[in-house]
Structure 1
Amino acid sequence: MKKIVTFLVIFISSCFAAEFSMNEYNTPLIEAKDGYGTIIDSPDIVVGSSGIVMHNFGPSKRSIIARASVTEKSGGFAKVRFEVFDSLEQKAMPIPGILPARGDTIILNYLYSRSLIVVPNKEIYNEIVSSFKNMEFIHPDIVGSYLSYEYKPNPSRNDFRKMCSQSAAGLIFIAMNNEALFADCQSFEVLKRFKSGSVSYYQLPFYTRVKDIDTVFWKFGSSKISDFDRHYKSLLKDK
């Protein structure tokens, strides 16, 4: 009976959450100073979300020169923090040495139609994937294969950031006991929380068909996860 109730709670919550979407939002940069910028506020802008800064080099030439994360909203304006954009980094090509400036374009909610997915078991994975029809989830086997190769049974923020960059994903979805959420995959700021049911069992470090994600004695900090919820809560940054 408990299993049936748990399924219904998660399913109902997921159906409600299936409307979740954060479309790309384009806006001009009206001020840039000391590593921060100002843009006009909008209901589409969420504190904690991130995007990119585009610079025009000519009538038909433009390039990404930085990452931008929304830090606050007030008085009809939103403030963004500039960061190095290294998702497309190539050793043969230098990082653009151009700083964001007034007139550049900010594209927020960048790659928010694609998400990594971290869930405790196969049943919850199937429920979430079938409920969020508008979201393209990166299969957890991709992340699992990377962790297995790197001997990392306790994935860190940087591990997920790397896999988001390689998979062209802007979000990470995490399901825990009685709650689930979407977070920005670079800042790990929580963008949206959902109520869900209790978890009947856990697969560690998360559900994946990749087996034997093990540790090695010579790699510092590669011990296995003992508590799923505690580990992933420790990675998050709340608003």
Structure 2
Amino acid sequence: MHKIALIALLSLPLFAGFFPQSVHTSIKSVKGDVITLNSKFPVNGMSGVVVHNYGNDLTAITSRIAQTSSDGTASLLSADIIDHDNLPTIKTAVVPKDKVIGGYLYNNVLLLAPDADTYAKVVSSHTKKWIHPDLFALYLSVEGEAGPSKENLKHFAKKYQVGLVYIVRKNSAVLLDPVSGKIVSEKSMSNLPKEGKFPFYMRFEQIDSGWFGSDTTGNYYNTMESL
């Protein structure tokens, strides 16, 4: 069991930068929902978008993909790119030579932290476009969700253009790609509080609707381990 855990840990990009770099490549071949990239992404689980050229300087994002193998194999995730009820869904099929942006919006990061001090330290350590957890808290309240989950993080990320979720766990930090639902980076962390604010640090004490108006007790670290 320990060997399996070690192999899984080593398969993640534990490089000094922590954040996987966005990459630009193209589609080599398509077979159903299985796509081969001309250049692989730096880590499996990284999602990306497919950009189709319609000619006459007209391009559009048509699909989302996620790398599933280190040989550059990816899976087609969804063609529902635009999150707007009044705009049509793009139905253009993915074809060879379409451009691909891996790590799309990876500079836009939602941080889930145990307390204000940890939040401030992380934000000051990286130059990113930080999406404040207050916005995620409001989203969960409006949606009536019982707590953070991979599913509501995925929906929130699509709605608010979030590329990564930085999650502070007990003695470590991970980066979750909310589109693929996969952890794409991990590193150790120290000097964390013994207990964290449940369900995560935010500036609201209570919101009088849905989840926040009812049970607000729980364990922060247990919640983050489940993501």
* Range into which the TM-score falls when normalised by the shorter chain: 0.7 to 0.9
Aligned amino acid, residue 229 of structure 1: Y
Per-residue CA deviation, residues 105-154 of structure 1 (Å, 9 max, x unaligned), is 1110100011111011111101111111x222111111112223333341
Aligned pairs, how many?
A: 211
Identity of aligned residues (%): 26
**Structure 2 counterpart of 1:143:** 136
**What displacement does 1:94 show?**
2.4
Instruction: State the shift of 1:230 in Å.
Output: 2.4
Alpha carbons 1:153, 1:214 under 8 Å: kept:
no
TM-score with structure 2 setting the length: 0.83
Shift of the 117–87 alpha-carbon distance from structure 1 to 2, 3 Å rule, reads farther
Question: 2:74 & 2:34 partners in 1: Cα distance?
Answer: 6
Shift in Å, 1:191: 1.1
Match of 2:218 among 211, 221, 226: 226
Structure 2: gaps of 5 or more residues: 1-13
Q: 1:203 aligned to 194, 197, 202, which one? A: 197
TM-score normalised to structure 1 length:
0.79
1:201 and 1:17 map into 2 onto residues whose CA distance is: 28
TM-superposed CA distance for 1:97, in Å, is: 1.6
* Inter-partner Cα distance in structure 2 for 1:118 and 1:23: 21
2:153 aligned with 1:156: no
Shift of 1:205: 0.8
Which of 6, 22, 28 is the equivalent residue of 2:20? 22
Deviation at 1:27, TM superposition (A): 1.0
C-alpha spacing 1:214/1:202, structure 2 compared with 1 (3 Å): farther
Displacement after TM superposition at 1:47 (Å)? 0.5
Q: Which residues of 2 match residues 28-43 of structure 1 at below 5 A? A: 28-42=26-40
> Given the superposition, is the C-alpha separation of residues 123 and 46 from structure 1 closer, same or farther in structure 2, using an over 3 Å criterion?
same
Q: Which digits, 9 at most, give the CA deviation of each residue in 1:177-225, with x for residues without a partner?
A: 10111111212211111111243331111000122257759xxxx9656
* Shift, 1:46, TM fit: 1.2
Q: Please list every run of 5 or more consecutive structure 1 residues that lacks an aligned counterpart in the other structure.
A: 1-15
